[in-house]
Structure 1
Amino acid sequence: MKLVAGNIYVHKDQLDGLDPMVKEAVREALQLTPITDWSDFDLVRYTDKLDEFSFLSYSSFLEDAFPRLLKSHKVQLSKRSVSFRDYRDSSNPPILHRKELFSVFDSELLEKWSALTLALEEVGAFDEPLKIGFQNQWVKTLHAKGFYVDGHHLLPLANQDSLVDRITLIESNGSMVQRHLTALTRYALSAPVQQLIRCGLLMKESSFFDYGCGRGDDLRALLDNGYQAGGWDPHFANEQVIYEADVVNLGFVLNVIEDPLERSLALKKALKLAQKVLSVGVMVANENNVSGTPYADGVLTSRQTFQKYFSQQEFIDYLFAQTGLMPFPVAPGICLLFKDEDVEQRFLLGRQTSRSVVAEGFHYRREQRIRERVPRPRAVKQSIFEANRELLDELWEQTLILGREPMPEELLNLSQLIDVFGSLKRAFKLNWNNQNATEFELASKQRLEDLTVYFAMEKFRQQRPYKDQPTRLKTDVKYFFGSLRSAQDAGFSLLKSVPDLKSLWEDAKRGAECGVGFFDESTDQYFIPADKLSFQQPIVRACVGCAAALYGDAASSSLIKVHIRSSKVTFLTYDDFYGKPIPLLVQRVKINLKTLRMDVFTYDGPFTPIPLLEKSRFLSEGDQGFLEQFNFDIRLREEGFFEHEFDVLSFETIQKFLHDACLQISGFDLLLVDKAPDVGAPCGRYLMFRDFFLCGETQAKFQIFNLPKQVETYRAYYLLAKNVLDPLIDYFGPIKLTYGFCGSKLRPLIKKRVSHDRDQHASFEKKRNGEFVCSRGGAACDFIVEHEDMYEVAEWVAGNTPVDRLYFHGSDRPIHISYKLVPDGEFYQVEESDSGKQLTKKLIFS
């Protein structure tokens, strides 16, 4: 049996020895799961409340030093609910430590496991328990200590270089998701230009012209970063030459032109300049920006400037009516108009092409193999495959990316392959005979799904047929579908399945089980981090794709919410989704797929940004920063934050809640506040800090200003109130504090004999030499509940709170209690002998 942070872990072979009530609860929970075979799980995890149970299956429980979690079935008995999580494909699964605590195995195994744990303890591997629960962080911790585990042996790393390489490898590849932004300073570019770069349409070899460039902020940023850029503006740059370019931007120009004819001419002039693509940006109406005096088809603002606010659908319809081209939204208020069909098709195909998880996994292993390669002695003969492994791996990686064998024109190293192997066919054969066939099957399936979603979206947009297709797409269609008609039929079939709520629900559940989204069982809402959209099941991708046809580039949002019951999709954008532990909502765009209505809500000005809580729910354990977020969310829950009722939930109210607990947010951690709270501030739900600091006969007699000097002491008394006294007052009613904090001025006046180095009334106060007055830590107080038998009060406290120490002095006298983070749970009865000497003995409650 193992106890971790309030959770009890029991091996399945230990279940018979449990308390009958626990055993019955486990049996009831197990019946709710689909588990039918005893071999389908190894451990049971539960809490003493006997409501939540998890049945956990691990990899090679006996053989692996730190078994990886493969599957988890979580049951909540009170709700009769079951959730499943599949970790088998996770790049960073949870792992299990200290197997020797499950004492059902033979002594030889327990001795081997115990020896490894002892060796790890000696090198400090368990010093930071919050950082070692997942595989990648555990390996990184060991390497930082200079060790690695081979079998059940702890061994030193060979040299510092390999240590650095291994750590770098973990940091850079711990997540399959790469979230690097463009090298351009993001705040220096307007949203339309950012989208052009994000979509791969504006590159350094492209020519770019900004028609209506304003003061030229975009142009300066682009030129500084090596782009070919020019622009013109009637007010700020009217002396500049107007010329054609591959990419043209008409950013936030149409919305400031009050004359509809002039507005139309500006659009058509910009389109004429664009050789490949035109980006058009306008202001989009939301709940709080359409203000001003009505004028023409817009408003006059308080600054006497004209603004025309478009709805998204109105904007799309306007562009189509004026140009005859199909507009492609990439964000609210930003659309693309393509002049080059080939570029248009590549753009659309790219939006539905997911990063190949299989190919990325192979690339990671390939890089690792190259790093760790050991030169072979010349005398050792290698096979043709091994001798040319690097070249063949490169070919195999390209095969996985495409999901099929590459055509000769798709290979950059074609001549090298033919020189080495004589023919491309022979190179392929070597790979088929030596590489992982299952890997290819998964990659091919993923590519087929990408293409099916592409054709589904083409059907949804009711797009005109293209005159021709890019060569790669033609090859894909022939390989995966046989014909264009079959590809279009497959897309249409997928599109028809989107309104099937049962199929959508099943695909969403599967995504959550694989850790690429979060499914809210109570509302049937599915949350997807925008950068994980490509990892979703096809029906979910098609559903979001339909909404994105109106919204724009789904990747420009932070989090996507699929409302399965109501056929709606909401795109949520946060101020810094990955960079903050509690990001703030800045925009919410809801799309009704039945009516194709889009509502935009912007959170600024009088509208309070909504904080996102428990963000780790939406992350995968392989994401960079997951562990920090996960631990932050645990800390917030331990503080009782989620049981607190807020009148208005905002970042400011969160900060106030934490400040009352003497805490502040620092990065992804909760640290002590820099300055102690006011003595009149709340300390728990019923008391104030002054109640602990300015109480007792001695303090009242001498009027000692008895305040702590250490912020840790305030925090300790807050925890004492929150964990012990608040529940006590809930049950018995008001209490009377007779002795609380004892500071340096009060301590010499306490006449009774006290061992100050063990007196928790001093809490975390320090001596002049910097050492703590009391070595035990925590905080203590004495109190009485009037008209109550204090034995019954003491018995209740001992049985219902995490009290550290309790001293009972008699049924009508105050009791002494203390609290610290890891309570000892010791109870004593204090009696006075005939000679006046105090006698202390252990107190055992019935």
Structure 2
Amino acid sequence: MVVSATPGWESERRLTAIARRGLSVPARTALAEGQIAADTTVLDYGCGRGDDVEALRERGVPAQGWDPVFSPQAKQQPSHTVLLTYVLNVIENPQERVQTLRRAWELTEHVLVVSTRLDWERRRVKGQEFSDGVLTSRRTFQHLFGANELRRYVQEATKVRCVSAAPGVIYAFRHDNDRLAYLARRIIPDEQWQEAANATAAIAAMVSFTEHRGRPPRLEEMPDPVLDSLGHLKAKELQRLVRTAVDTAKVQENAKRSTLNTLLFLALEVFNGRGRFSSLPLAIQFDIRSFFTSYTEACRRADRLLLKLRDDAYVRAAMRGSKAGKLTLTAFYVHRRAVEQIPTVLRLYEHCAAIAAGRPPTWNLVKLQHEGRGVGWFDYPDFDTDPHPRLASSYTVDLSTFTTSFRSYEESEDRPLLHKKHEFLLPEDPHSPKYQRLSQAETRAGLYQNPALIGTELGWEAELDRCGRRLQGHRLVRRSRPRNER
């Protein structure tokens, strides 16, 4: 985006409007999370060359863009979703920076998506210190935000509580019930109803919902095809049919899960501002009425859960008692597939960090420190296909200072790698037996005799060579010796 320059300042902000292939990360995030859809109007405020606008239109989204240099004649129309993408960081005047943010907020009907570059990119920005940022050799300016600093900055300008959707991507919701609905979906995905072409299928859909949620559905959350198919049945008869068809054990088990999910949502809501009962998503309201004596009782239990997060002994005990995950001297590691099965206090731990500083778009292993409070997300792209997957990137947040750091290992010649993958998963994970067999074979072969050497590619290859072994997929086999060594 290019806006009027500060008096006495010859800014070249137009040079920051880079051309992109496809959607930017903020637009892609908002699209994936339902903040942008085919029926939502979008305004890209400070759209630069308009690549996001064009890409959204190709997806059937009614998007418009405005930019004072590239699209100065375009209308600044109020829209359901407003994008302010990598704009604030190029404005060298702090007053103009906040004015730009407030103008974007004025145009927002439902959600403002703000994104900037973050301070861990400083080594990639070449230039000299100027004002509260960096003046580059191209005479452009960059103010690099801290992840939590950006969330606070947007909150102060908009006067609403904001959520970090991803590192450097903030959502500011015009209506609090939209914010709460978004938080709820991050913890409890919307139920997927089965097809209901007739009464039999509709009853099966209700049975499935009841078993999965731990309670029968209310009329307000039942889709129209189900209601239409069951309109000839009286309520008592319908309840009897469902009650006789459900698996009681599944209902009881998932009622416990829904109770814990509700507590997790309410505890996280305190972290980000608790709303009135009537402002909660309907599904959460129905869960509270089904699993608690009152909203007050549910909130009281959620508050106790939040307090336990500060108790080091309780957190370590939860880590030791978890069905999934690897506990080391300093931290607990668990795979993304198993996160929902770890103790609720540990899930709350991870969610608090995600709300404060954003969860990265790609990750499959999370680290929770039990010495201090810090969370790291790690991306091992080939976790399931590589017997010892290589680390592509890491993103960490220190919850005591809310400082963040990002590191890419893509160009490293000696990347960190994983061993004993089964330890990060649930025992019932379909891949666990295969991973465990490999770990046992590697242990018997003596490959773990020198733990300090095997944490990176070169050290691991050296140990494989020393032990005369090589890998064929997830099988360990003897390495063939050259003929002249036989």
TM-score scaled by structure 2? 0.82
Query: Corresponding residue for 2:152?
Result: 317
Query: Corresponding residue for 1:341?
Result: 176
Query: Corresponding residue for 1:326?
Result: 161
Q: Give the deviation of 1:258 after TM superposition.
A: 1.1
Is 1:459 aligned to 2:282, yes or no?
A: no
Counterpart-to-counterpart distance in 2, 1:209 and 1:657: 56
Matched-pair contact (CA < 8 Å) for 1:402–1:447: yes
Cα 1:556–1:457, aligned 2, differ >3 Å: closer, same or farther? Answer: farther
Aligned residues: 460
Counterpart-to-counterpart distance in 2, 1:218 and 1:565: 42
AA partner of residue 451 (structure 1) = T
Partner residue of 1:527 out of 316, 323, 333 = 333
- Secondary structure at the aligned position of 2:396 is classed as strand
**Map 1:61-72 → 2, pairs under 5 A:** none
Query: Corresponding residue for 1:392?
Result: 203
Counterpart-to-counterpart distance in 2, 1:303 and 1:607: 29
Query: Corresponding residue for 1:89?
Result: none
Deviation string for 1:599-638 (max 9, x for gaps)?
3132359877742312343234655765665566567667
Counterpart-to-counterpart distance in 2, 1:450 and 1:525: 24
TM-score scaled by structure 1? 0.49
Specify the structure having the higher radius of gyration (Cα). Answer: 1
Is 1:308 aligned to 2:143, yes or no?
A: yes
Cα 1:263–1:664, aligned 2, differ >3 Å: closer, same or farther? Answer: farther
Matched-pair contact (CA < 8 Å) for 2:134–2:143: yes
Cα 1:556–1:485, aligned 2, differ >3 Å: closer, same or farther? Answer: farther
Partner residue of 1:716 out of 444, 457, 480 = 480
Is 1:598 aligned to 2:403, yes or no?
A: yes
Cα 1:331–1:503, aligned 2, differ >3 Å: closer, same or farther? Answer: same
AA partner of residue 415 (structure 1) = D
Query: Corresponding residue for 1:417?
Result: 230
- Secondary structure at the aligned position of 2:119 is classed as coil
Counterpart-to-counterpart distance in 2, 1:467 and 1:403: 22
Counterpart-to-counterpart distance in 2, 1:397 and 1:574: 34
Q: Identical aligned pairs, as a percentage?
A: 24
- Secondary structure at the aligned position of 1:475 is classed as helix
AA partner of residue 253 (structure 1) = V
Deviation string for 1:526-556 (max 9, x for gaps)?
2122343333222112222222231224775
What's the C-alpha RMSD, in Å, of the aligned pairs?
3.7
Query: Corresponding residue for 2:243?
Result: 432
Query: Corresponding residue for 1:407?
Result: 218
Q: Higher relative contact order at CA 8 Å, sep ≥6: structure 1 or structure 2?
A: 2
Counterpart-to-counterpart distance in 2, 1:649 and 1:524: 17
Query: Corresponding residue for 2:26?
Result: 192
Q: Give the deviation of 1:561 after TM superposition.
A: 1.1
Query: Corresponding residue for 1:566?
Result: 372
Matched-pair contact (CA < 8 Å) for 2:81–2:110: yes
Q: Give the deviation of 1:272 after TM superposition.
A: 1.7
Is 1:504 aligned to 2:339, yes or no?
A: no
AA partner of residue 218 (structure 2) = M
Query: Corresponding residue for 2:97?
Result: 263
AA partner of residue 352 (structure 1) = I
Query: Corresponding residue for 2:6?
Result: none
Matched-pair contact (CA < 8 Å) for 1:354–1:450: no
Query: Corresponding residue for 2:356?
Result: 550
Query: Corresponding residue for 1:479?
Result: 290
AA partner of residue 597 (structure 1) = F
Q: Give the deviation of 1:279 after TM superposition.
A: 0.9
**Map 1:568-717 → 2, pairs under 5 A:** 568-575=374-381, 577-578=383-384, 580-581=386-387, 582-592=389-399, 595-603=400-408, 610-614=415-419, 615-620=421-426, 623=429, 641-643=447-449, 650-651=456-457, 654=460, 668=473, 715-717=479-481
Cα 1:273–1:504, aligned 2, differ >3 Å: closer, same or farther? Answer: same
AA partner of residue 508 (structure 1) = M
Q: Give the deviation of 1:469 after TM superposition.
A: 3.5
Q: Give the deviation of 1:348 after TM superposition.
A: 1.3
Cα 1:248–1:632, aligned 2, differ >3 Å: closer, same or farther? Answer: farther
Counterpart-to-counterpart distance in 1, 2:111 and 2:294: 29
Cα 1:655–1:647, aligned 2, differ >3 Å: closer, same or farther? Answer: closer
Matched-pair contact (CA < 8 Å) for 1:575–1:586: no
AA partner of residue 93 (structure 2) = D
Matched-pair contact (CA < 8 Å) for 2:164–2:171: yes
Partner residue of 2:252 out of 438, 441, 444 = 441
AA partner of residue 315 (structure 2) = L
Cα 1:257–1:496, aligned 2, differ >3 Å: closer, same or farther? Answer: same
- Secondary structure at the aligned position of 1:716 is classed as coil
Cα 1:239–1:634, aligned 2, differ >3 Å: closer, same or farther? Answer: farther
- Secondary structure at the aligned position of 2:188 is classed as coil
- Secondary structure at the aligned position of 1:330 is classed as strand
- Secondary structure at the aligned position of 2:60 is classed as coil
Stretch of structure 1 that moved more, 465-474 or 536-545: 465-474
- Secondary structure at the aligned position of 1:248 is classed as strand
- Secondary structure at the aligned position of 2:279 is classed as coil
Q: Give the deviation of 1:347 after TM superposition.
A: 0.5
Deviation string for 1:287-326 (max 9, x for gaps)?
7446530011100234432111111232122112222121
Deviation string for 1:427-462 (max 9, x for gaps)?
221222232111111111111111111111112234
Query: Corresponding residue for 1:495?
Result: 306
Deviation string for 1:485-522 (max 9, x for gaps)?
222212111111212233323332333x2xxx3222x4
Counterpart-to-counterpart distance in 2, 1:212 and 1:283: 15
Query: Corresponding residue for 1:695?
Result: none
Q: What 5-or-longer segments of structure 2 have no aligned partner? A: 1-19
Cα 1:583–1:355, aligned 2, differ >3 Å: closer, same or farther? Answer: farther
Counterpart-to-counterpart distance in 1, 2:137 and 2:475: 44
Matched-pair contact (CA < 8 Å) for 1:251–1:279: yes
Deviation string for 1:724-761 (max 9, x for gaps)?
xxxxxxxxxxxxxxxx84xxxxxxxxxxxxxxxxxxxx
Matched-pair contact (CA < 8 Å) for 1:246–1:274: yes
